[in-house]
Amino acid sequence: MASPNKQTQFNIWYVLAAMLLIFIFQGWWVTYNTVEQVPYSQFEQLLRQGKVAEIWVRDNTIEGTFKEPTKQGRDRFVTVRVDKDISGLLDKYGVTYRGVVTNTFVSDLLSWILPLVFFFALWMFVFRRIAKNQGGLGGFMTVGKSKAKVYVETDIKVTFADVAGVDEAKQELQEVVAFLKNPQEYGRLGAHIPKGTLLVGPPGTGKTLLARAVAGEAGVAFFSISGSEFVEMFVGVGAARVRDLFEQARKKAPAIIFIDELDALGRSRIANPMGGSDEKEQTLNQLLSELDGFDPSSGIILLAATNRPEILDPALTRAGRFDRQVLVDRPERIGRRQILDVHIRKIKKDDDVDLDQVAQLTVGFSGADLAGLINEAALLATRRGGTSVTMDDFTNAIERVVAGIEKKSRVLSHDERTRIAHHEMGHALVAANLKGVDPVHKISIIPRGVGALGYTMQRPTEERFLMTVTDLEARMAVLMGGRAAEKIIFSEISTGASDDLQRATEIAREMVARYGMDETLGNRVYLAPRENQFGQPMVEHREIAEQTSREIDIAVRERVEDAFRHAVEILTAHRADLETGAELLLAKETLTDADFPPIRPADKRAAAN
C-alpha cells in the first residue's frame, strides 16, 4: 500500500491537470463567445460602412473592435490578413491602427511542455497502477516480495465453533491456540510447541478453515499463501519470497504462517533424476533454513496443508520442522450431522427436514460437499418458488450430486423404458433379499447425467469400516441384479449393465489380488495400492508372473459369474414381484421404499443367502 505522502503527490497531478484543462476551456469559451470570426472581404465592407473603431495589425491576422456590438453581443472581431499594405486603406477610412509584434515564445514553449507533461502524467498513472497490482514493471520491481495475504485480528471471523466434524483435529490444534495466547505459561515446564503443524487429509475436509479458526481463536495476525505462489520463472525469486514472508511474520509476532498446498513447494527432491539445484529446490532449501532458524518461543507458528503427504520431502517432515501431522479426514455420520447443523443456519428450512436421514444418505461426503449440498437444496427450493427448503429438496439435491441432472428431454422408446424398469427393479429385489446389504431408498427410470438411464439408490443404516467376503459377494450380486433381470425377462442382455460390470469386476479383483480372499491364490497381495490414503490415484506396479496373472483373471471371472448366478436364482424365485414392480415403476417413473413392499426392508431380506 502506498504511503499517504505518495498518495498526496500523486493527487497533485490530477489537480494540476484539471486546472490546465479549466484554463484552456476558459480561454476557448471567452474567444468563442466574445470574438467574431469575419472574412477579409467582410472586413473591407465594415471599413467602408464605418463600423470599425480600432484595429491591431499582426503578421497574419487583423484584430479589431466594433463601434457598436453586434446582435450577438460581440464587440470584437478577427480576420486573416490578406493585403500586406493595409495602411493606405485604413487612412482612407480614418481608423486608428497600430502594429503588434507577435511574441510566440510562450506558445512555442507550451507546445513542447504540454505534451511532455501529459505523457509524464500518463506514465506516472500507469506505473503506479501496475505497481499497486504487483504486475508488469511494478511486479518485476517487487518480484522478491512475499505474496502472502495478511489478515489482522479483526479480519478473522472464523472460530472453532464454525468448524464441525473434525473434533480430533480441533483438540490437536488447541495446544497451538494456548501457546499463542500465553507462550510463557505454556512453556513453564520446559516444553515447546512444535515448529510446524501439517494438516493432511482429502480435498474439501476443512484444512484451510481449521487454520483460519486457529488464528481466529488466538486473535493474532494470519499470513496465508499458496505453495505455488513461491515459484516463479526467475531463479532465486521463491527463496527471496520465503525470506520476506518470515521477516514480515517476525515483525507482527505473535503470528501464524499458513502455507496451503504445501506439496507444490515441498515435493521430494529425490524424484528429480537429473539432480541439480533448480528454482523449486532453492525455494525448499530456503524454507528448511527458515524452519531451523526461528525460535518457537518468538510466537510464530507455521501451519501447512496438503492432500498428498506421501510426496513431501523427508527433510520437511522430520522432527524439528513439520514434526506434527494432524489428520483431517472425511467426517463420519455424527460429524456429517454436525457439519449440516453449521451450514443449515444460513437457509430457511422446513420442519420436515430430517438431518439425521440426510447424514445417512451422504456417506463419503466431505465438509465442502455437504456445504454444496445444502446450497443445491436451497437453489432447488428457490427454483420451484417454495418458501422454505423441504426434505424433498434435500433428496433431489443428493440425487443431483450423486447421479447427475435429470434428462427429461431424453425421449426413450417404450421397449427401452420397459427394459430399464426391469433392470432397476432387479437391483432392488436382489438388495431386498440379501443379508448385510443397505436397504433400497429410491428407484427411478428417469435418465440422469451423461449415460445413466436409471438408478437405484440405497441408504446405509450404519457406518461400515470392515467388509467380509459375504458382504462383498452380496454387493456384487446386487450389481449383477440388473443384467440378471434382463436375462430372465427378455432372454437377452443389453449394454445397460456396463457400469455394473465394471464395478463388480473391480470388487472381484480387489478381493482376489489385494485382500487375499481367494483360497487358490493364497494370502498375499499381488497388486500395489492404486490410491494413497486419501483416495487419490497413484501409479500401479504389477510385479507378478504371467501364470499368476492368468490365475488372477480366472479367479476374478469366476467370482463375477457366481454373483450373476446368485442374482438369477433370487430373481427367478421372485419373478412375480419383479414384473409387478417393473409395471409400477413404468407407471410412476420413481418409487420409494414406501411405494412398493418388495423393496421395503422386511423379513424376507434374510432369505436366499
562 and 438, same domain (yes or no): yes
Residue 457 within a domain: yes
Domain that holds residue 56: 4-105
Residues 450 and 543 occupy one common structural domain: yes
**For the domain that residue 91 is a member of, what is the CATH number?**
3.30.720.210
229, 261, 424, 486: the catalytic one is 424
pLDDT beyond 50 at 604: no
Q: Residue 99: inside a domain, yes or no?
A: yes
Highest mean pLDDT among 202-211, 288-297, 470-479: 470-479
| Catalytic residue list contains 424 | yes
Distance CA 57, CA 41 (A): 16
Please tell me whether 414 is known to bind a ligand.
Answer: no
Provide the terminal-to-terminal Cα distance of the chain, rounded to the nearest Å.
72
CA quadruple 514, 515, 521, 526: dihedral, nearest 10 = 20
Tell whether 101 and 123 lie within a shared domain. no
| Residues 261, 388 within the same domain | no
* CA dist list (Å): 210 to 157, 170, 367, 535, 541: 12, 8, 12, 21, 36
Domain match, 99 and 112 both: no
| 426 in the same domain as 306 | no
Question: Same structural domain for residues 295 and 365?
Answer: no
Per the annotation, does 204 bind a ligand? Answer: yes
Is 205 labelled a binding residue? Answer: yes
| Domain assignment of residue 247, yes or no | yes
Residues 346 and 298 in one domain: no
- Out of 123, 141, 159, a domain closes at 141
In a domain, 407, yes or no: no
Q: Specify the 3-state DSSP secondary structure of 441.
A: strand
For residue 461, is it within any domain?
yes
Mean pLDDT of 310-335: 84
* Structural contact between residues 429 and 471, judged by C-beta atoms closer than 8 angstroms: no
Which of 48, 81, 105 is the C-terminal boundary of a domain? 105
592 marked as part of a ligand binding site: no
Arithmetic mean of pLDDT, 569-583:
91
408: in domain: no
Verify that 42 and 111 share a domain, yes or no.
no
> Is residue 423 marked as binding?
yes
CA distance 310 to 131: 39
Please indicate, yes or no, whether residues 537 and 565 belong to a single structural domain of this protein: yes
The larger pLDDT score, comparing residue 299 to residue 198, is at: 198
Residue 163 belongs to a domain: yes
14, 128: one domain? no
Q: Is 427 annotated as a binding residue?
A: yes
**Residue 409 within a domain:** no
Model confidence pLDDT, tens digit, residues 259-304: 888 888 877 776 555 544 566 777 788 888 887 766 666 677 888 8
The CATH number of whichever domain residue 375 belongs to comes to 1.10.8.60
Domain end marker among 327, 360, 392: 327
Q: What is the tally of structural domains in the chain?
A: 5
Same domain for 246 and 132, yes or no, is no
Segment 53-106, tens digit of pLDDT: 887 777 677 888 888 887 777 778 888 776 656 656 665 666 655 444 455 555
